Amino acid sequence: MGKVHVDGHDAGAVTLYALSTCMWCKKTRDLLSKLGVSYDYVYVDLTSGAERAELIDELRKFNPDLTFPTLVANGRVIIGFKEKEIMSALGAL
Amino acid sequence: MVSDEDVERLYQRLKDDAESAGYHLNSDRQFVMGVVRGLLTNEERFGYMACPCRLPSGKREEDLDIICPCDYRDQDLAEFGACYCALYVSERVARGEEGLRPVPERRGSRSSRPASETAEPHIEGLSKPVWRCRVCGYLCARDEPPEICPICKASRERFERFM
C-alpha cells in the first residue's frame, strides 16, 4: 500500500508517516479525524522493497531517527503524538 | 489474523507478570489491548514480539533490543514514567499521580547501539561467571544465563556476561 488519502477540510498539506501496530500513531489518526482535516497517511510497516526504501528516504529528510508517528503539516514536522502541537500546526488552536 | 482471545490471553499474562515483579501496565485498558494486538501482529509477522511503536528490521538479531520488554524500558520508566509505547508505566503514573508524556526514542542509530556481546572486564577468582539481564539488570552467577529472566521474563539471549 502507498499513501492513502483521507478527505476532509483543507488545512494545508498534511502527511502522516505511521506504523499500523502503533497506538500513538492510532491516536494521531483519531485526532486528525476528530479535527476533520484532509490528509495523507502511510503505514510504513506494511510496505516492502523499493516502496519501503523510497518512503524511508523521504521520511529521513524530516526525521533522521525514523520514529513514528511523524506528521508533516504545512512544513512543520511533529514527531510523536503531541496533541497541542498538532492542533496548532493545523490551525485548530 | 490475531484473535480477540489471543489478545486477552497475552494481556492477562503480561499483567500477571508485571504485577508479580513490581511493574505496572498502563491502566488505559483499551490502549493496552491495542499495544498487545500490535505485539501479537509482530510475532505473527516476524516470529518475535518487536515493540509495536518501532519499525522492526525483521531480523531477530538486529531487533533483540526492541523485543518487548525492550532494553530501554526500565530507563524510560524511571525518567519518563512510561516505556516508549506506554505499555508499562511507573507506579506514580499507574496511580494517576502523574500523567503520560511523550517518551523520546533513546535507541539511537544502529551503529551507536552496543554490541550484544560486550567485552566486560572479567574479575579473576570468581567461581562462576555473572550474567546480567539487559532489560531489568537482574544478575545471577552461574555457568549459563537462565532460559528466562525470573524478574522481567526476557529470554536467555537478552543476557550479557557482566563479570
pLDDT in tens, A9-27: 999 999 999 999 999 999 9
Q: How far apart are CA A59 and CA A44, in angstroms?
A: 10
Domain range A4-82, its CATH number among 3.40.50.2300, 3.40.30.10, 3.10.180.10, 3.90.850.10: 3.40.30.10
Burial code of B91-116, b = ≥16 C-beta within 10 A, e = fewer? eebbeeeeeeebbebebeeeeeeeee
The answer to whether the Cβ–Cβ distance between A26 and B34 falls below 8 Å is yes
Question: Which superfamily does CATH assign the domain made up of B4-100 to?
Answer: Ferredoxin thioredoxin reductase catalytic beta subunit (3.90.460.10)
Domain range B119-161, its CATH number among 3.20.140.10, 2.40.33.20, 2.20.28.10, 1.10.8.80: 2.20.28.10
Assess A82–B contact: CB distance below 8 Å, yes or no: yes
Looking at residue B137, its pLDDT comes to 94
List, edge to edge, every strand of the sheet that includes B139-141. B139-141, B130-133, B159-161
Provide, as residue numbers in chain A, all residues whose Cβ is less than 8 Å from the Cβ of B56: 45
| B77-96 average pLDDT score | 96
At B52, the pLDDT band (50, 70, 90 cuts) reads: very high
Q: Do domains B4-100 and B119-161 have the same CATH topology?
A: no
Cβ-nearest to B42 among A21, A25, A65? A21
Q: How far apart are CA B14 and CA B82, in angstroms?
A: 15
Looking at residue B124, its pLDDT comes to 76
Q: Domain boundaries in chain A?
A: 4-82
In chain A, positions 20-79, which contact chain B (CB-CB < 8 Å)? 20-26, 44-45, 65-68
Average pLDDT, chain A: 96
Looking at residue A44, its pLDDT comes to 98
Residues of chain A with pLDDT > 90, as a percent, come to: 95
Q: How far apart are CA B27 and CA B44, in angstroms?
A: 26
Cβ-nearest to A80 among B39, B56, B102? B102
Q: Evaluate if residue B116 carries a pLDDT over 60.
A: no
Q: Which of A6-20, B2-16, B107-121 has the lowest mean pLDDT?
A: B107-121
CA nearest neighbour of B35 among B20, B21, B54: B54
What's at A85, amino acid-wise? E
| B12-39 average pLDDT score | 96
Q: Evaluate if residue B117 carries a pLDDT over 90.
A: no
The answer to whether the Cβ–Cβ distance between A19 and B53 falls below 8 Å is yes
Assess A81–B contact: CB distance below 8 Å, yes or no: yes
The answer to whether the Cβ–Cβ distance between A23 and B105 falls below 8 Å is no
Looking at residue B108, its pLDDT comes to 79
Looking at residue B114, its pLDDT comes to 58
* pTM of the entire predicted model: 0.89
Cβ-nearest to B102 among A22, A66, A81? A81
Q: Domain boundaries in chain B?
A: 4-100, 119-161
DSSP assignment letter at A39: E
Provide, as residue numbers in chain A, all residues whose Cβ is less than 8 Å from the Cβ of B35: 23
Q: Evaluate if residue B115 carries a pLDDT over 70.
A: no
| ipTM here | 0.93
B153 to each of A13, B35, B137, how far by Cα in Å?
Answer: 45, 18, 12
Q: Evaluate if residue B119 carries a pLDDT over 60.
A: no
What's at B40, amino acid-wise? L
CA nearest neighbour of A3 among A55, A70, A50, A48: A55
Pairing relationship of beta strands A70-73 and A76-79 according to DSSP bridges? antiparallel
Looking at residue A92, its pLDDT comes to 84
CA nearest neighbour of B56 among A20, A24, A28: A20
Q: How far apart are CA A36 and CA A50, in angstroms?
A: 32
- Determine the number of helices (DSSP H) and then strands (DSSP E) in chain A: 3, 5
Pairing relationship of beta strands B88-89 and A76-79 according to DSSP bridges? unpaired
Q: Residue B3's CB: how many other CB atoms inside 10 A?
A: 10
Nearest CA in chain B to A81: B102
Q: Evaluate if residue B118 carries a pLDDT over 70.
A: no
Provide, as residue numbers in chain B, all residues whose Cβ is less than 8 Å from the Cβ of A26: 34
Looking at residue B125, its pLDDT comes to 84
